[in-house]
Every structure is written in structure tokens, then in C-alpha cells.
Amino acid sequence: MEAMDLDMEPKPQPESSSNPNSFKRFGLKTSIQTNFGDDYVFQIVPKDDWTAMAVSLSTNAVKLYSPVTGQYYGECKGHSATINHISFADSSSPHVLHSCSSDGTIRLWDTRTFQQVSSFHSGSGAEIFSFSFGGSSNNLLAAGCNSQILLWDWRNDKQVACLEDSHVEDVTQVHFIPDHQSKLLSASVDGLICIFDTDGDINEDDHLESVLNVGTSIGKVGFFGETYQKLWCLTHIETLSIWDWKDATETNFQDARSLASKSWSLGDVDYFVDCHYSREAERLWLIGGANTGALGYFPVSYSGTQAIGTAEAIFEGGHTGVVRSVLPMSNMPGPQGQSFFGWTGGEDGRLCCWLSDGSVDTINRSWISSELVLRSPKIRKSKRHGPY
């Protein structure tokens, strides 16, 4: 991959609001402009063996890159509306990428040829917001489709259930629970989280096991803990709640934004992107950002004293707008003994790669591949000190 060194203006180094040594600053290694215009990066997901990452864009396409070098591999095109969720298959089908869209389809792609190899349809053209593969025999595909939950046996493309009474508004999330593959969780704009048992002949009367009432529109959920019994939940009004989904106990952070805003020196935290859990450290972080593009990792204490602590990692100087997705990959080696933190993508259309060694030279320099950004030499030269 041919790359160009592009100088960036030095950025001031803001201090932590409490202890300047309590957080780690990451240096920007690479920035890729995925398109030109007003295109967004929605989601970044890794292949099982980390040889590729897929990036969904507001152009209704999915592009594939190397997570190590940023090299562009190709794109999967076919959706006619917004792509709401993407994921790679597991190691049994390493070259398969899944995507779902507001065009009412779930599509399967061969990432070696970038061609569609299969698809599932909502039937009515209704939007599909999320999907998940699982079941006791790993044969089920679940999808959140408007206010319904559809289930197929993906081995024969047969729809086996339509759960339409549990939610009254759009189902934003469906997940088969890790280590509990017969259990299916759904979350919705109606503020409810439902948990189903998918063994046997699936129906709501007999298979709806529990309902958790979050009380407001749910944007994203995820599982954590040694047995994945814990559940974090982010809402569309930027609140956080932590649940034990088995016994329905809750820790609620209604003021999550104000707590996080007090925990760094970069102004208000305007939104939350995701949560990140380390099984080794048994710690949970809330990932929040400012509309200017800065991003922080805020530790969450949810048992005993409840708190959102001082930012322990800060990313600044890569994005100029809202960050939509974070892909950590900090176990991978980088150049000169450094290690990659990972990639971020946002509404500025950029993919940014970060190194865990925040040296001055790293922070004040970025590289953009000429294979990924196709500009004329004249334009490229004129943009030397404003590469984005």
C-alpha cells in the first residue's frame, strides 16, 4: 500500500480533570476518508481472524479494509436503503459477511468476491434493524423487523416464527445471549427488553420468559460478566442502565452524560457510542464523545458505590464530528514496538486508526493511503496541511 506523510497542526494536550496521569492518550496513526461528500461511517466489525474489517456506510454499501495497514479490499453493494447492522460469520464460515437494511432484507456476502450469495426478506418490505444467529442447534436467524421479531431456520430458509405481540414499536436490537444460545433478547423503542426461550415450537404465550422495563427508547445493548449474566443498555436519550437479566435487578445512570462531562476537561459529553468490557480486568467502560470529535473511555462502577469515573483513555485530533463506531484491537502489534488500540468511524466519513503510544510525533502526523483516497495530484498538494 502506497502511503503519504501528511503534516498536521500540533494539538494542545488537555489535562485530566483530576489526575493528569490517570488516563492514557492515544496517537493518531492513520486516517482514511471513506468517501467524499456527506457520507457517514455507521459500524466497523472485524473478521473472526482479524484479517479484514467491514465498514458500513451511509451510501448503502459495505467496504472492507485491512485492520493492520488500512489497505482497501473492495465493497459489497446491493442494499437500496440504510444498512442498520453488519457482522461477520464465525470461523466455520470465515468469508461470509451479513448485513441488514431498511430495505427489508438480510444479505449474505462472500468477501472474497464481494458478491451476494444469499438473502432473507421481511416479506412486507418492512425495515430490519438488527439480526442475530443462534439457537440451541445454532440454526436460527432472528431479526428485529419494525415491531416484530422474525425467526428463520437459516439452513433451509424457512421462517419458523413471527413474534408480534411483545413490542409495540420498532425492535432496535436482537441478540442470542452468549453461553445461553437458546435465549433470545429483544429491545425496542417502546422501552422494553424481552427475553425468549427459542427451544421447541416458538410462540409468545409459552416462550416469553421475562420483560425488563427500561422506560425509554433503547438504542443499544450488550452482555458482559463471567457468565454473560450482566446487561448494559444505552438509550436514545443518552442514559445508561446495568441489569442482571436473570433476576431483573437494575443499576440506573439517568445522569450519565453529566457524570461523564465532569470526568474530563474537554467540555460536555454530548452522546454515547458504546460500552466496552474487559473480561481479564473485569471492568466496564462507557464510551462517550463530543460533537467536535473527541472521544473518551469512562470507567463504570455499578456494584456498591455507583459512579462514572474520570476518563482513562482520550482520543482527540482524528474526527471532526460525531463518532458512530469503535473497534478495539489493542492486542495486535503495531510499528516500532507500539500496539494498535483500534479504529473509530464517524459522521465525518473518516476511519481513524489509533496507536497506544501517544508520542508527539505520532499525535501530530497522519497517513492517508493513495489507494483509498482518489484525488488528483493538484488537489492532494493543496490539501497537504488539511488532509481531511
Output 331 or 138, whichever has higher pLDDT.
138
* Sheet architecture: strand order including 218-224: 218-224, 230-235, 240-244, 249-253
Reduced to 3 DSSP states, what percent helix, strand and coil does the chain have, rounded to the nearest 5? 5, 50, 45
Span 169-193, pLDDT tens digits: 999 999 999 999 999 999 999 999 9
- In whole angstroms, give the CA distance from residue 119 to residue 229: 32
Span 50-72, pLDDT tens digits: 999 999 999 999 999 999 889 99
Q: Are 11 and 376 in contact (CB under 8 A)?
A: no
Q: Give whole-number Cα distances, 114 to 54, 107, 157, 314, in Å.
A: 11, 12, 22, 35
Span 18-47, pLDDT tens digits: 443 445 556 677 677 777 567 899 999 999
The set of residues, in sequence order, having a beta carbon less than 8 Å from that of 278 and lying 6+ positions away, is: none
Q: Are 186 and 167 in contact (CB under 8 A)?
A: yes
* Sheet architecture: strand order including 3-7: 3-7, 365-369, 27-33, 350-355, 340-346, 323-328
N-terminal to C-terminal alpha carbon distance within the chain: 19
Q: Are 6 and 344 in contact (CB under 8 A)?
A: no
- In whole angstroms, give the CA distance from residue 101 to residue 221: 19
The number of beta carbons lying within 10 Å of the beta carbon of residue 130 is 24
Classified as helix, coil or strand, 335 is: helix
Average pLDDT over residues 220-230: 95
Q: Would you state the pLDDT for residue 238?
A: 97
> Which position has the grid cell 469515573?
309
- In whole angstroms, give the CA distance from residue 129 to residue 219: 11
- In whole angstroms, give the CA distance from residue 109 to residue 118: 7
> 298 exposed, middle or buried (CB, 10 Å; 0-12, 13-18, 19+)?
buried
Q: Would you state the pLDDT for residue 69?
A: 87
Classified as helix, coil or strand, 174 is: strand
